[in-house]
Structure 1
C-alpha cells in the first residue's frame, strides 16, 4: 500500500484554501481603521460620562438601552479585528 500526497500547484488554489489573499492589504487596513473609528466614540464617552463632562450613557440610553452602544462598539471591534488580521 502506498500513500499518495497531493500538492497545490498554483497560488489561486492555495489562497482559496487558506482564505488569504482575497483583498488588498490597504483595503484591509482601511476596514480595520473604520472599525476603530466606529468603536472610538463610545470608548471616549465612558470616561467623559464618568467625570461629568457629558451625560452618561445610562442617562441617554437607559439601562435597557445600553445594548445599542454595546452592540455598535462590539461590531466595530470585530470589524477592526477582521481588518487588522495578519497585516
Structure 2
C-alpha cells in the first residue's frame, strides 16, 4: 500500500479495504504502541514474506547449516532484542 499506517487503518475502518496483511514497515520493528497491532482487520507478519522457489528455500537452508557449522551466526536469524 502506498499510504502510511494511519491511511491503512482509515481505509479499513471506512470499508474501502476489507483487510490487510502487513509484513514490512518503514521503521522496524513496528512500534509496540502502533494501533495496527490491535486492529481487527490487520494481520502483521514478522517480515517474512517471500516468493522463493523450493530450490531457493533448500539453498537458504543449506547456507544456514553451513554458517552454523563454521560457527557463524546465520544472517537472517530472529533477533529477540529487535523484535523481528
Give the TM-score normalised by structure 2.
0.31
Structure ranking higher in strand proportion? 2
Give the TM-score normalised by structure 1.
0.30
Structure ranking higher in helix proportion? 1
